[in-house]
Structure 1
Amino acid sequence: MLQVKGKYYYYYKCSIASAHNNINAEKAHKQLSGALELMSLPEKLISSIKEKSEIEMEITLKEHKTLLKQRQIEYEQTGQKLLSIEEKWISNRIQHDTYERWHNGIRPTNYMFDFSVIILKFCG
């Protein structure tokens, strides 16, 4: 996206050709739509594309659900570790510097897993 004096211009940048090969997105979308309108596909090919797409979507959904479950487990585990450290510090079983070292090491990981769970739920 290129911004000039408060206006935005959407471009696709070619990653294969030279770095200066930019294509206006609106123009490219119109050209693609025009080309697709002129095309006709056999019903057998459409069915095949649909079937393969559904299979791919099922696989992706399963992988997504598996990753979400894994991140939820990791979030819960790091949360339990944090609680354990806090309980040990409160009951004077560890020193404050030990508590801070462990807490500062685990807390960012816990935040990362929490963020991952939120993103996966939102995108899923």
Structure 2
Amino acid sequence: MKKSPKIGLVFILLIIISACGKSKFYGEYSVDGNPRYDIKILDNNTAKINLESMITVEYEKNGDRLEVIQDDVYSYYVDSVTGVFFELKDDDTLSYNIVKNSEEMKIGEFKYIE
């Protein structure tokens, strides 16, 4: 009988901890914030980018950035692009950036689709 409250408390703590570990990045983004996403960030370390064509890339979280892994950068982008990353801004917009010739360049800003 005394184990029930303890089990319930442990269960609630696990839910809170798992919710805190989730990233705000996950979800769908478009230029105007309306459906049909241009970028979809998934929680399995992949992102779908649907701009000129649909590609799926893997990323690694590095601080406030999601950085596309180098194998995917080399596979999907032109030779002078050496890095690709996403940054979440305070207003829930997602910045899509590349590193080209050692310079960071913004490709675009995308709004979260509600």
| Alignment TM-score, normalising by the size of structure 1 | 0.27
Going by fraction, where is helix more abundant, 1 or 2?
1
| Alignment TM-score, normalising by the size of structure 2 | 0.29
Going by fraction, where is strand more abundant, 1 or 2?
2
